[in-house]
């Protein structure tokens, strides 16, 4: 189905809410074709993510334990992914600060903030 969704059953420690939600988001993106949520798609998309996450929690609880752990580590447990997420959060916070402080800035072709400093 989607190579970006990793196996959550059998993880030690158990899958976190964030890992389950990330898998649900990937699933809903794949089946709907919605890559960027807009105002028109937000309500249906968010409800679908909640439903898939809830179903995931139930199935993980209902299935017997695995004999062996999954062969791949979920992305949210990888240091390189955590570093990318932290960088995105820092960039978003810097962008919000620039708006709050009224600093002039533009955006590059990827949407990243470019200041005149």
Tens-place pLDDT, residues 78-92: 788 778 888 888 888
Mean pLDDT throughout 71-82?
75
What are the CA-CA distances from residue 98 to residues 7, 26, 88, 109, 117 (Å)? 40, 31, 15, 19, 12
pLDDT at 2: 53
């Amino acid at each position: 189905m989607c190579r970006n969704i990793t196996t959550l059953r059998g993880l030690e420690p158990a899958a976190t809410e964030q890992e389950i939600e990330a898998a649900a988001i990937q699933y809903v993106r794949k089946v709907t074709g919605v890559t960027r949520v807009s105002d028109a798609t937000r309500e249906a998309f968010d409800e679908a993510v909640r439903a898939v996450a809830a179903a995931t929690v139930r199935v993980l609880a209902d299935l017997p334990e695995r004999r062996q752990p999954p062969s791949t580590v979920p992305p949210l447990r990888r240091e390189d992914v955590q570093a990318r997420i932290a960088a995105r959060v820092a960039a978003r916070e810097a962008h919000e600060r620039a708006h709050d402080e009224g600093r002039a800035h533009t955006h590059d072709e990827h949407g990243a903030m470019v200041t005149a400093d």
